[in-house]
Amino acid sequence: MKKVFKQIISSMKIDEVNNQTTPDDLIEDQEGKKNISPSLNKNEEEFNAVFDKTFDFKIEKVLVGNSEGLILYLSTMVDAQAIKEAIRPALVVAHKKQETISSSSDLKLFQKEYLPSQNVVDVSYNHEVVWYILSGYTVLLVGGLSDGLAIMTTTTDKRSIDQSQTQTIIRGPQDSFTEVKTTNVSLLRRRIKNPHLKSENFIVGKDTQTSICMVYLDDVANDSIVNEVRKRIENISTNAVFDSGNVEEYLVDKVITPFPMIYHTDRPDAIAADIVEGKVAIVVDGSPFVLSTPVVFTDFFQVSEDYYQGFMMASMLRMLRYLAFLIALLLPSMYIGLTTFHHELIPTGLIVSIQAQREGVPFPAVVELLLMEITFEILREAGVRMPRVVGQTVSIVGALVIGQAAVEAGVVSHVLIIVVALTAMAGFVSPIYSFANATRLLRFALILITAALGLLGTLIGFLLIITHLCNLKSYGVPYLAPMGPLIMEDQKDVFVRLPMQVMQQRPNYLSAKADQKEDQKQPLPSLSKEEGS
CA distances from 487 to 224, 266, 493 (A): 21, 30, 11
Q: What is the CA radius of gyration of the chain?
A: 30
pLDDT, mean of residues 397-424: 81
Mean pLDDT check: name the lowest of 150-159, 185-194, 474-483, 494-503.
150-159
Report the pLDDT value the prediction gives residue 221, as an integer from 0 to 100.
93
User: Higher model confidence: residue 531 or residue 99?
Assistant: 99
Report the pLDDT value the prediction gives residue 530, as an integer from 0 to 100.
39
Tell me the pLDDT band of 518, cut-offs 50, 70 and 90. Answer: low
Q: Is the pLDDT of residue 349 over 80?
A: yes
Q: Is the pLDDT of residue 16 over 50?
A: no
Model pLDDT for residues 209-224, shown as the tens digit of each residue: 899 999 999 999 999 9
Residue type, 129: V
Q: Tell me the β-bridge partners of 322.
A: none
Contact 289, 260 (CB under 8 A): no
**Packing angle of the helix pair 365-385, 388-408 (nearest 10 deg):** 160
Assign 52 to helix, strand or coil: coil
pLDDT, mean of residues 519-527: 42
Q: Is the pLDDT of residue 311 over 60?
A: yes
Report the pLDDT value the prediction gives residue 396, as an integer from 0 to 100.
64
Q: From CA 434, how far away is CA 280, in angstroms rounded?
A: 19
**How many percent of the chain have pLDDT more than 70?**
88
Mode of pairing for the β-strands spanning 67-74 and 137-142: antiparallel
Assign 293 to helix, strand or coil: strand
Tell me the pLDDT band of 502, cut-offs 50, 70 and 90. Answer: confident
Contact 184, 242 (CB under 8 A): no
Mean pLDDT check: name the lowest of 389-398, 417-426, 453-462.
389-398
Model pLDDT for residues 427-460, shown as the tens digit of each residue: 888 888 899 999 999 999 999 999 999 999 999 9
Model pLDDT for residues 39-78, shown as the tens digit of each residue: 999 999 999 999 988 899 999 999 999 999 999 999 988 9
Q: Is the pLDDT of residue 381 over 90?
A: no
Q: From CA 288, how far away is CA 438, in angstroms rounded?
A: 22
pLDDT, mean of residues 462-479: 94
Contact 513, 219 (CB under 8 A): yes
Report the pLDDT value the prediction gives residue 358, as an integer from 0 to 100.
82
Report the pLDDT value the prediction gives residue 389, as an integer from 0 to 100.
61
Tell me the pLDDT band of 375, cut-offs 50, 70 and 90. Answer: confident
**Packing angle of the helix pair 414-428, 365-385 (nearest 10 deg):** 40
Q: Is the pLDDT of residue 371 over 50?
A: yes
Q: Is the pLDDT of residue 398 over 80?
A: no
Mean pLDDT check: name the lowest of 31-40, 172-181, 474-483.
31-40
Calculate ∠ Cα 487-263-293, nearest 5°.
65
Report the pLDDT value the prediction gives residue 308, as an integer from 0 to 100.
92
Report the pLDDT value the prediction gives residue 265, as an integer from 0 to 100.
94
Contact 336, 368 (CB under 8 A): no
Q: Tell me the β-bridge partners of 59.
A: 72
Contact 304, 268 (CB under 8 A): no
Could you tell me which of 238, 243, 244, 236 has the C-alpha nearest to residue 282? 244
Q: From CA 137, how far away is CA 151, in angstroms rounded?
A: 5
User: Higher model confidence: residue 349 or residue 13?
Assistant: 349
Q: From CA 109, how far away is CA 100, in angstroms rounded?
A: 10
pLDDT, mean of residues 278-286: 94
Q: Is the pLDDT of residue 155 over 60?
A: yes
Model pLDDT for residues 285-304, shown as the tens digit of each residue: 999 999 999 999 999 999 99
Tell me the pLDDT band of 6, cut-offs 50, 70 and 90. Answer: very low
**Packing angle of the helix pair 433-453, 414-428 (nearest 10 deg):** 150
pLDDT, mean of residues 372-394: 76
Give me the numbers of helices (H) and strands (E) for the chain, helices first please. 17, 12
Report the pLDDT value the prediction gives residue 521, as an integer from 0 to 100.
41
Report the pLDDT value the prediction gives residue 403, as an integer from 0 to 100.
74
Average pLDDT, the chain: 85
Report the pLDDT value the prediction gives residue 11, as an integer from 0 to 100.
43
Tell me the pLDDT band of 516, cut-offs 50, 70 and 90. Answer: low
Tell me the pLDDT band of 376, cut-offs 50, 70 and 90. Answer: confident
Contact 472, 255 (CB under 8 A): yes
Mean pLDDT check: name the lowest of 159-168, 188-197, 307-316, 377-386.
377-386
Neighbours of 5 (CB within 10 A): 9
Q: Tell me the β-bridge partners of 216.
A: 198
CA atoms within 13 A of residue 436's CA, in its CB half-sphere: 16
Mean pLDDT check: name the lowest of 122-126, 374-378, 402-406, 500-504.
402-406
Report the pLDDT value the prediction gives residue 2, as an integer from 0 to 100.
44
Report the pLDDT value the prediction gives residue 395, as an integer from 0 to 100.
63
User: Higher model confidence: residue 44 or residue 32?
Assistant: 44
User: Higher model confidence: residue 522 or residue 500?
Assistant: 500
Report the pLDDT value the prediction gives residue 495, as an integer from 0 to 100.
92
